[in-house]
Structure 1
């Protein structure tokens, strides 16, 4: 089971262990995984980490566009007041129009991403008129408190927490933006893995029944609900009571065409914004462990191939350049010192990249009559038996001092630092030069 803050019914079911009580007699255990928002929750579902979860509709639009596999099995209703655009109490921003040119923070792919686009449209502004900052709630709260952002789009319980702890002012909520259509324009959904829906319809029905019970109980007992959830949410009881008091009807509804109409408008909104052509990744793998680094590089590679994005990657890590980049520009003291295809530069012994990738032994003195040479090759050359050819055709001894063969993109490149000794060393060197090694 996947849950997140803001999906109260799932958290009530978790806290009451009601699902465990229903399924334990059937020999079924329940485990829970918490996610920061809908997008990573659906990623987890696609990876097989969970079979059921809940979250905002916007995240599912992005997931669907990314060919993630999931089913919307039910819709949820909640508070339209809990989803808000907050500014500092003393902020000069008085209306939505005042957001022009301002730094506005929200979680990318969340319902707030959709809300800010629609709020700006309401006053004749475009998304490009603001400076969007894609921050998780945990990142945005301290930034908002420091005054690093001008406005913050957020949802309960984070809204209530910020309003209680900080000097904030409500600029708008879902009712301001969408009017009486707010419940349809910002729906939440319950999601399940397709094979789970197909293979275990009875268990799915049980889960939805427990969610319905949790909704009815919390509507009639909001103070008790707050006492149940405030420790789970790790916020104070008074804040949790505010969240639960304005929690709305909290119904579990079927996914109808009317419910999906709001989701379709979300999809249309993001489609009209257009897809980015270039993605900037600035030191995305800095100081990370190898497993996390591989995960990020896999994600960037997937975005490059699936969305056709050109990725501008800024890094100090040469291994990252080798693994993912096609072309490279090397900067030193703010100036480009070399540029070109990665594989071409690595194949040139004198290039900066080649020297970084292929570290040669220093201080080695050749034997009398011997010569030290550097052999560089790329592509089909990497598969040729070059050392055997030298020994066979020129009767020279080949002593490998250092070197390796690397795969850069889909191309093999390599460099070897060798010592050549024999009567025909000059002819061997001529052969290497003419063969462009």
Structure 2
């Protein structure tokens, strides 16, 4: 199963690269010094806020830089977009995603992190499920997205309960498909992150078997860019990180207003988003040694579980230190 997982993940990464390159149609990419191309996903709350407000466009206007926004379904396609040059900056992705990208030889630079939000992801079962503990998941079907933060959460939570991941039946599902499978009873448990977790809890009676706090999983989210862009436009990235930091502080200071403003932008109600936001730190900072050490720990755990093909040195990717 492990080798099959890695082969399918690597093949998916390569296919994404081919599709993204084909989408350029043989035309030269927009000049990085003129247009900052940003990729984001539904859980990229801070960038979605900045997009809705036009804040980055205003902040970058004095540099003569415009912004183009591109929505992606999940983290791996985002990072492959950076790798092949179809976008310059990836919105926040959970810890394992850069590791699987690095294992597929992507050359990336860690730009910034959102500091730990351990309760922002969880393993849940239906309220009437006979499954009462993590140990009861042995032999059961667990759904989650490949290489997502919840992949590591599930691995660690089960290990603490004395269950190997390979002793369960894993079903790889993107959030929308996972929700359908969970509600239909096609999977016994679902590992999912906010805001999808909050949306589920607001509409379905569920029990949390473990979140990141219980499993000693920090759940950081990382913003990444191409190393070329980091070298060429540190002035632009300095503004981006500053705007992200200010947006994170604003969300935490005004949770109700932030939820109301985000609601129409992501298609969820304000109450759901307020719950989700209460579990996210939104504390944007540069990537420090603690974050890198934890990335190495996660990488080693995936390697030991034979989910990565070789041991990685996470410091093989560049780390942005701010404009000089």
Same fold? TM cut 0.5: yes
Cα distance, 1:240 vs. partner? 1.3
Alignment partner, residue 122 of structure 1:
160
Which has more strand, going by share of residues?
1
Aligned: 1:201 with 2:238? no
Provide the rounded CA distance (Å) in 1 between the counterparts of 2:307 and 2:132: 31
SS at match of 1:243: helix
Provide the rounded CA distance (Å) in 2 between the counterparts of 1:260 and 1:5: 25
Aligned: 1:254 with 2:292? no
What CA RMSD, in Å, does the superposition of the two structures yield over aligned residues?
A: 1.5
TM-score by length of 2: 0.81
Measured against aligned partners, the alpha-carbon deviations of 1:45-67 in whole angstroms (never above 9, x if no partner) come to: 11212111221111100000110
Cα distance, 1:24 vs. partner? 2.2
Aligned match of 2:72 in 35, 39, 42? 35
Aligned match of 1:141 in 179, 195, 203? 179
Cα distance, 1:276 vs. partner? 8.7
Provide the rounded CA distance (Å) in 2 between the counterparts of 1:275 and 1:208: 32
SS at match of 2:124: strand
Cα distance, 1:76 vs. partner? 1.0
Larger radius of gyration: 1
Alignment partner, residue 349 of structure 1:
none
Q: Is the 8 A contact 2:133 2:209 kept in 1?
A: yes
Provide the rounded CA distance (Å) in 2 between the counterparts of 1:164 and 1:275: 33
Alignment partner, residue 302 of structure 1:
none
Aligned: 1:50 with 2:76? no
Measured against aligned partners, the alpha-carbon deviations of 1:154-204 in whole angstroms (never above 9, x if no partner) come to: 0000000011111211111000100xxx43xx2211101111100000001
Measured against aligned partners, the alpha-carbon deviations of 1:117-138 in whole angstroms (never above 9, x if no partner) come to: 1111101111111000000001
Provide the rounded CA distance (Å) in 2 between the counterparts of 1:30 and 1:104: 39
Which has more helix, going by share of residues?
2
List aligned pairs for 1:77-88, cutoff 5 A.
77-88=115-126
Aligned match of 2:262 in 220, 229, 245? 229
TM-score by length of 1: 0.60
Q: Any gaps of 5 or more consecutive residues in structure 2?
A: 1-37, 310-324
Alignment partner, residue 400 of structure 1:
none
Q: Any gaps of 5 or more consecutive residues in structure 1?
A: 278-437
Alignment partner, residue 297 of structure 2:
265
Higher RCO (CA < 8 A, seq sep 6+):
2
